[in-house]
Chains A and B, each alone.
Chain A
Amino acid sequence: MAKQINVALIGNPNTGKTSVFNALTGLNQKVGNYPGITVEKKEGVCKLPRGVKAHIIDLPGTYSLNASSLDENVVIELLLNKNDKDFPDVAVVVSDVENLKRNLLLFTQIKDLEIPTILAINMSDRMKYKGIQLDIPLLEKELQTKIALISTRKNKGIDELKELIINYKELSVKPCVNASEIDPNYFDNLRKAFPNQLLYKLWLVITQDVNFGKTDRNEVDAINSFKTKSKADLKRLQQKETIKRYQFINSTLKKGHTIDLKSAKDLRIQLDRILTHKVWGYLIFFIILLTIFQAIYVWSSVPMDLIDTAFAFLSEWTKNSLPQGAFTNLIAEGIIPGLGGIVIFIPQIAFLFLFISVLEESGYMSRVVFLMDRIMRRFGLSGKSVVPLISGTACAIPAIMATRNIESWKERLITILVTPFTTCSARLPVYLIIISLVIPEGKFIGLDYQALTLMLLYLIGFGTAIFSAWLLNKILKIKSKTFFVVEMPNYKLPLFKNVVLTVIEKTKSFVFGAGKIILAISIVLWFLASYGPGDDFNNAESIVTTAYASENLSSEELQQKIASHKLEHSFIGIAGHAIEPAIRPLGYDWKIGIAIVSSFAAREVFVGTLATIYSVGNDEEETIKNRMAGEVNPILGGPLFNFASGISLLLFYAFAMQCMSTLAIVKRETNSWKWPTLQLVIMSGFAYIVALIAFQVLK
């Protein structure tokens, strides 16, 4: 079999590069990470005519080969490293017909690297609408390339593009612009020092303030000694280079590109008058947010309940149909619920990314960034932090995944770190049961006390997130360029295929990325709750049966007592006892301790665990509530769940990092254990202190 043709798709953001990638590869694509960094690597296989195959890599969008972010850096690293296995045989520069001038800047740079380059002009279906005419043969001659006029929306030109890729060897590799003219002396010296190197490549290596990894390490060192010019001088030269390129582009387009402004229509201005308006803009954004929130919160509850039921059934079925034993228990009580704990998040993740990708594809997201930037900037966040913070109210996991489009690493990291403070839906069952136990019924100016408490908890969560963002912004010393340039692209109808592929890909990355860690921890927690040392655990059955021999218990009640006894003496039960001295000042006993330890799997497990400990047969809320109301504090006397301990528990759950899934996703997104560990220690430590103060003051 012939070698696959390596193709790199390169282009400015918002040119529909991903649509071209999707059109070429369809479902034959995979998304991974570049080693050691969190930049997404998208690659796929494309079947070309005559049995030839192409390996397509979709490089991150960039405006030029002068990198200012990690994403853009990836592009240059690949194009400068001939030894990389992905080094392109041919580069396809995807451009947008409406922004051809700007898009060609990147094109001329890549041509200067003497890589065979095809120019794909996308969105050609809009040419007539915009009054644009192109003289393709003339442009091909001037730009020394082949041009494919395509429209991913109308599915046109893709076959022509494939044909050009097959015949890539016929492409000219002559540069269009001679960059060395910007400072002939300097470039002459450079040529003399490195006679075997491409001059433009040297220039890129000199001007990039980036780490080139293993790429030509020795060369870079030699070149470093050549950095005779100051940074300011280099930047001035880069500006000169940019102007020179634009001169070339302008003179080329003057010949081959005409635009009839009279027949051009622009919807953007009309829409933006409303969508970025000082009042209407915010109102519309608020309505859109409400819809998203509603979807994640309410619509996804239907499939989530189904998943919950299905996994419970599957677990029960496994238990009944496999032979009894430790292995069956592991599958039925450890692995299946663990898998269920991963799958349960899929509806929320899918819904959130459905909305996000529609907003991004349509061009609306840039307007949100524009509207919110000023407000968020005060807290060290970016306009782009808004969506993660709001969707954190449903679930922190998709929210943290949604931070990927924040360019500044510092702003992104702060957003990731503070998002878990917002009140996610898993806290709700815990809040509801405790509120109904300890907050008296009654009304305050027509508002229910209990509802007010719940609202207050949401406000505390959001307030803490914002406040800690402000604090982190002061503390974190991360050098990160904070300049803010956001393109405001034209409004477009989202492409269904792109939206669906985004949803699939994000869901997959959650299931296979964070899912592994969640499954592992679930199995460990199951083990700790199902096994214990000593007689008390192993002979639980006979001990309980003897103890209750005189009482006439039904076998079901007896089973519940046994389960409760076992849990008390399991490893996790012992852990609950062990931490009792630490949590007693907070007003909790060892039973709550067990529930806190096991709810580390997911906050809502708190209620279910208490149900098992109190040996309540089902987890009907009313039954557990009555049982909880009857609990007596062993030391202080009086009800265990009173106002003081209840408030203390509410505050503990408001602040503590009680969610291993969130930790797993933070590990994945930050690519280090450092941040999730800090999050765990600081958030849970803070929660402990606040809960302690609350109980001691209120008791």
Chain B
Amino acid sequence: MQVTLADIKRGQQAIITDVSSIHIPLKLLEMGCLPGNLVELVQVAPFADPMYLNINGTHLAIRKETAIHILIDITNG
């Protein structure tokens, strides 16, 4: 099964491998959510939604429904 950003745990780091551009707002891509960039989970709200991430140095929060469209490779943790 493919690992998506929705599966990341706190303290884990990952590399974005692919983003489904149809489901992802362009704004997110522009903020650095692009293949090859590093991503880390900073904090989650109750029910693990929304997720507070550090993508390529930018800190932002997205909803889980968006995170499932971002594929990742977990590198540590």
| Residues of B close to A374: CB separation below 8 A | 45-47, 49-50
Q: What number of B residues sit within 8 Å (CB to CB) of A?
A: 30
* A278 vs B62: C-alpha distance when bound (angstroms): 17
17 contacts between A and B (CB under 8 A): A68-B25, A68-B26, A101-B32, A102-B32, A239-B21, A239-B29, A242-B29, A246-B32, A374-B46, A483-B25, A484-B66, A485-B28, A485-B61, A486-B60, A486-B61, A488-B52, A488-B60
**B22 contacts chain A at the CB level, 8 A cutoff:** yes
**A64 contacts chain B at the CB level, 8 A cutoff:** yes
* A338 vs B36: C-alpha distance when bound (angstroms): 63
**With A66-B30, A236-B21 known to touch, is A485 a contact of B60 (CB < 8 Å)?**
yes
Chain A residue nearest to B33 in the complex (CB): A485
Chain B residue nearest to A239 in the complex (CB): B21
Q: For window 14-68 of chain B, which residues contact chain A by CB distance below 8 Å?
A: 19, 21-22, 25-32, 34-35, 42-43, 45-47, 49-50, 52, 56-63, 66
**A99 contacts chain B at the CB level, 8 A cutoff:** yes
A-B contact count (CB 8 A): 108
**A140 contacts chain B at the CB level, 8 A cutoff:** no
**With A66-B30, A102-B32, A105-B30 known to touch, is A489 a contact of B59 (CB < 8 Å)?**
yes
* A276 vs B60: C-alpha distance when bound (angstroms): 13
Q: What number of A residues sit within 8 Å (CB to CB) of B?
A: 38
| Residues of A close to B47: CB separation below 8 A | 374
| Residues of A close to B34: CB separation below 8 A | 239, 242-243, 246
Closest 5 CB pairs of A and B: A488-B59, A483-B25, A486-B61, A64-B30, A370-B61
**With A64-B30, A101-B56, A101-B57 known to touch, is A485 a contact of B25 (CB < 8 Å)?**
yes
CB <8 Å contact, B45 and A371: yes
* A373 vs B60: C-alpha distance when bound (angstroms): 14
**A235 contacts chain B at the CB level, 8 A cutoff:** yes
* A242 vs B47: C-alpha distance when bound (angstroms): 32
* A68 vs B57: C-alpha distance when bound (angstroms): 23
**A268 contacts chain B at the CB level, 8 A cutoff:** yes
Chain B residue nearest to A63 in the complex (CB): B30
What 0/1 readout, one digit per residue, does chain A (6-38) give for beta carbons within 8 Å of chain B? 000000000000000000000000000000000
* A68 vs B27: C-alpha distance when bound (angstroms): 8
| Residues of A close to B56: CB separation below 8 A | 101
* Min CB–CB distance A243 → chain B (angstroms): 6
From B22, B25, B43, B60, name the one whose CB has the most chain A CB atoms within 10 angstroms.
B43
**A238 contacts chain B at the CB level, 8 A cutoff:** yes
* A170 vs B60: C-alpha distance when bound (angstroms): 38
| Residues of A close to B66: CB separation below 8 A | 483-485
* A544 vs B22: C-alpha distance when bound (angstroms): 79
**A174 contacts chain B at the CB level, 8 A cutoff:** no
| Residues of B close to A64: CB separation below 8 A | 26-27, 30
* Min CB–CB distance B30 → chain A (angstroms): 5
| Residues of B close to A272: CB separation below 8 A | 42-43, 52
Contact pick for A487, options B25, B31, B43, B45, CB 8 Å: B31
* A486 vs B19: C-alpha distance when bound (angstroms): 18
* A105 vs B33: C-alpha distance when bound (angstroms): 13
| Residues of A close to B50: CB separation below 8 A | 370, 373-374, 484, 486
CB <8 Å contact, A485 and B62: yes
CB <8 Å contact, A369 and B27: no
CB <8 Å contact, A99 and B58: yes
* A391 vs B22: C-alpha distance when bound (angstroms): 38
| Residues of B close to A276: CB separation below 8 A | 43, 45, 52
Binding site for B on A (CB under 8 A): 63-64, 66, 68, 99, 101-102, 105, 232, 235-236, 238-239, 242-243, 246, 268-269, 272-273, 276-278, 366, 369-371, 373-374, 481, 483-490
Chain B residue nearest to A66 in the complex (CB): B26
CB <8 Å contact, A484 and B62: yes
CB <8 Å contact, B46 and A278: yes
From B22, B26, B56, name the one whose CB has the most chain A CB atoms within 10 angstroms.
B26
Chain B residue nearest to A64 in the complex (CB): B30
Contact pick for A373, options B25, B42, B45, CB 8 Å: B45
Contact pick for A102, options B22, B43, B58, CB 8 Å: B58
| Residues of A close to B61: CB separation below 8 A | 366, 369-370, 373, 484-486, 488
* Min CB–CB distance B28 → chain A (angstroms): 5
| Residues of A close to B49: CB separation below 8 A | 373-374
| Residues of A close to B43: CB separation below 8 A | 272-273, 276-277, 370
| Residues of B close to A236: CB separation below 8 A | 21
* A238 vs B60: C-alpha distance when bound (angstroms): 21
* A481 vs B66: C-alpha distance when bound (angstroms): 13
* A370 vs B43: C-alpha distance when bound (angstroms): 10
CB <8 Å contact, B26 and A485: no
Chain B residue nearest to A106 in the complex (CB): B30
| Residues of B close to A268: CB separation below 8 A | 59
* A243 vs B56: C-alpha distance when bound (angstroms): 13
CB <8 Å contact, B31 and A63: yes
A242-B30, A370-B52, A484-B62 known; 13 new pairs, CB 8 Å cut-off, are A66-B27, A232-B22, A235-B22, A268-B59, A272-B52, A370-B43, A373-B63, A374-B50, A483-B66, A486-B62, A487-B58, A488-B61, A490-B59
Chain A residue nearest to B59 in the complex (CB): A488
* Min CB–CB distance A384 → chain B (angstroms): 12
| Residues of B close to A488: CB separation below 8 A | 42, 52, 59-61
* A548 vs B63: C-alpha distance when bound (angstroms): 74
Chain B residue nearest to A275 in the complex (CB): B43
| Residues of A close to B21: CB separation below 8 A | 232, 235-236, 239
* A373 vs B50: C-alpha distance when bound (angstroms): 7
* Min CB–CB distance B22 → chain A (angstroms): 6
* Min CB–CB distance B58 → chain A (angstroms): 6
* A63 vs B60: C-alpha distance when bound (angstroms): 13
Chain B residue nearest to A72 in the complex (CB): B27
Chain A residue nearest to B56 in the complex (CB): A101
CB <8 Å contact, B63 and A484: yes
**With A246-B34, A268-B59, A487-B31 known to touch, is A370 a contact of B45 (CB < 8 Å)?**
yes
* A95 vs B32: C-alpha distance when bound (angstroms): 16
| Residues of A close to B62: CB separation below 8 A | 484-486
